[in-house]
Amino acid sequence: MQEADLPDVLEIERQGHAFPWTETIFLDSFRGNYRLWTGWHGERLVGFAVVAYLFDEAHLLNLCVSPELHGQGIGRKLLRYLLGEAALDHIWRVILEVRVSNESAFHLYRSEGFRQIGTRPEYYPAADGREDARVMALELRD
């Protein structure tokens, strides 16, 4: 991802999340310990992923695909790509949070080998207050 991609990224983020990240949050992610990737369909940016690295662990902070393209494998491709890059960067574990209501994302992560390791109560903002998050992890090496 490059800063020039932000208008498209912000639009995907607004379409994909009821409580989207701001431009400032994305700009803060252009620091050295973050990895940012985009997914493309032809010439069109259709998804992105933001990962923070801390020593030998990675934290998947945001993975979003244009809603009209859900179910076409773009999220899976982005996920596999970032996992491959993390392994090349000698990351040993990737963690993430996912809303308990986001069953499709939960099943995607499970199908790629992530396992639930806990919950974070009231982690996400929600229309009626707060929503719990499942904490998931994938070990990239033993």
Taking only the tens place, the pLDDT of each residue in 77-133 is 999 999 999 999 999 999 999 999 999 999 999 999 999 999 999 999 998 999 999
Q: Is 103 a catalytic residue?
A: no
| 109 in active site | yes
Per-position DSSP letters for 75-101, written without gaps between them: HHHHHHHHHHHHHHTT--EEEEEEETT
- Considering the candidates 13, 57, 109, 124, report the single residue annotated as catalytic: 109
Catalytic residue among 23, 85, 97, 123: 97
Give the model confidence (pLDDT) of 19-44 as tens digits: 999 999 999 999 889 999 999 999 99
This prediction has a pTM of 0.94
Say whether 102 counts as a known binding-site residue.
yes
The full set of domains in the chain, from first to last, is 3-139 (3.40.630.30)
Task: Give the closest residue to 72 by CA, choosing from 52, 51, 44.
Answer: 44
